[in-house]
Structure 1
Amino acid sequence: MHALLGLYVWEFFVSLDFDWAVLTGKKKFHWPMIFYFAGRYLLLSAMVGIAVGLDTPREINCRALYAFNQLAGDAAVGLASINLSLRTVAIWAHNKWIIILLILIIIGHWSLILQGLLLTAVWVPGVGCQIMHSNTTILAATFIYSMCFDFVVMCLSAYKLAWIPMRRGTNGARTKLVGMLFSDGLIYFFITFVVNLIATTFMILHLNTITSIIFNVPAAVASTIVASRVVRRLNNFQLSGPELFLSERNSSIAFKANSAVLSRSGVVPIAPDIQVEMNTFTHVENIDLERYSGAHCSKSSADSYDGDCKPVQVI
């Protein structure tokens, strides 16, 4: 537990600049960030609570402390799944059927998380708080549900990002943004699936009170860390060169803004019917304008250029 606390505190502080940028307004705050912050700080509170229960030299109410630790830790696992599901909603361009499906799954997940006190801890003089009983049936069901939830979300994302563009013959899945969304989703699912599987296996085996729950905290820590990193990577994503985003309705070329003249928020199409909201820069420098001179005008460029074939807007 102390090693995991050290690992999470290190992860917390190396990424604190992102939290500070959001809190100070340097990065725009969006309501889905509520789940990001709640997951990070609830798990930190649970880890501190576990350390207090193990290290305090004075008698405390172990039952109340471990009730909070259990609820905060399980909530962090649930919030990690919500963070990934919100990415899926954005990838599906807020499709109402996808939203309804995910909301129903989330309600079922939290109905297990909020089952009540599943751990019983008592004060042992000279030792500290010790867990005497655990309801491994509900705990195992919660972790199994988490694995199934993450699998559904991963399949929905993979279908939209990889299968649909491949079937329609577009190269949307080859762009850097789509590639990042796809790879991050796979990495998240693989890590959380492995740690949750290990925790569930030991809960089902129920060798003794300690080993039944010994891997619950590592699973919660790993899930929260990778979910938080996925959120930060998407928010910090920047184009590093010419990037072509194709859709069925329109196409646009994104250039790196070395000296942007206007900042705005927009929705960038990255594949058929896929839209991800991000900050962009309107920029008209470092472009070969000779290519679009009057002598080289064509009808195919009419949608993107005015009558004199001068660039109207480059994003």
Structure 2
Amino acid sequence: MVDWNDPDLEAKLGVLLEQLLYAILGLYGWEYIRSSHVEIALIRRQLPFRWPLLSYITARLSFLIVTILHATQSSPFYTNVDCPSMNFVILFWTNIAIGCSTTNLMIRTWLIWKTSYLLRLLLVLLSLGHWTLLTLCAALVLYGTHVAFMNTGYVMMSTSGVAMSYDLALLIFTIIGLLRMPSSSALWKTLVKQGVIYFVLNFLANLILLVLNRLNLNPIMNVIFGMPARLHLTEWSSRFSALRPIVKGLSCFSS
């Protein structure tokens, strides 16, 4: 039986976590530069701005800031930073990245239900609820309050749990909507690839985080899969080709 509270094991996990953070910084930094054609086109006014691009750009930039801050915090070189303030800033930008990434996924469902104003209203309300939770989480951490919602004393709905429930709802709406669309549609094929698959992967990533938090093996194990999950969420949700059908004039860009 592994003793997860063993100091030597926690020290090794701490080193592994630091190495993982630097690996994510390098991986995402390269991916950000490689796929920055949209931002460059907007700056050069070669691409007209549309509202879906706001969450797309913000999610990418926010997660880049998070990776840089994490790397700075874990730097072996001396850095004079206030840890509580740094942790709050990291949480703030992480929540923005999560919220915008989930909004990117919601846009895919929004595309499918273009004829149902009632469901679109429901999607907006769900998105606002998710953003409210993320904002509340940051506010409570700022004031030193632990964020947890208890149900009968056994089930804790953390932000990962709420995000997982939200993603599951989006997945269900997406599947139902796709069943109503002609399968020969190019949009249908894109949304099957970048909608359903991404929703499932994101759901599984949040499920792993929730399970580890419930197991509470040790503080490092509770968060070690957090950054990889956020990396994949940002990457999966920020595939530009799924936003292309509602952003005109993008035929010159590759996905």
TM-score range, shorter-chain basis? Answer: 0.7 to 0.9
Change (3 A) 1:150 1:80: same
2:128 corresponds to which of 107, 110, 120: 107
Which of the pair is proportionally richer in helix?
2
- The reply to whether residue 8 of structure 1 matches residue 16 of structure 2 is no
Residue 138 (structure 2) aligns with: 116
**In structure 2, distance between residues paired with 1:35 and 1:18:** 13
1:146 corresponds to which of 147, 163, 172: 163
2:110 corresponds to which of 85, 89, 112: 89
Task: Give runs of aligned pairs for residues 1-315 of structure 1, distance below 5 A.
Answer: 1-55=21-75, 56-93=77-114, 95-114=116-135, 115-116=137-138, 135=146, 137=148, 141-161=158-178, 163-165=179-181, 172-229=182-239, 232-235=240-243, 278-279=248-249
Change (3 A) 1:209 1:178: same
Contact 2:164 2:206 in 1 (8 A): yes
**In structure 2, distance between residues paired with 1:189 and 1:159:** 14
Which letter does structure 1 place at the counterpart of 2:214?
I
Change (3 A) 1:235 1:101: closer
**Which consecutive residues of structure 1, in runs of 5 or more, have no partner in the other structure?**
121-132, 166-171, 238-275, 282-315
Which letter does structure 1 place at the counterpart of 2:71?
A
Contact 1:136 1:212 in 2 (8 A): no
State the secondary structure of the residue aligned to 2:138. Answer: coil
Which protein, 1 or 2, shows the higher relative CO under an 8 Å CA cutoff with sep ≥ 6? 2
Contact 2:63 2:97 in 1 (8 A): yes
Q: 1:43-93: per-residue Cα shift (whole Å, max 9, x none)?
A: 111111111111140331011111011121122112111111122222211
Which letter does structure 2 place at the counterpart of 1:72?
W
**In structure 1, distance between residues paired with 2:48 and 2:140:** 39
Contact 2:47 2:249 in 1 (8 A): no
**In structure 1, distance between residues paired with 2:39 and 2:23:** 24
Residue 286 (structure 1) aligns with: none
**In structure 2, distance between residues paired with 1:98 and 1:150:** 15
Contact 2:24 2:228 in 1 (8 A): yes
Contact 2:171 2:200 in 1 (8 A): no
Q: CA deviation at 1:11?
A: 1.1
RMSD: 2.6
Change (3 A) 1:54 1:90: same
**TM-score, normalised on structure 2?**
0.78
Percent identity over the alignment? 26
Which of the pair is proportionally richer in strand?
1
Residue 127 (structure 1) aligns with: none
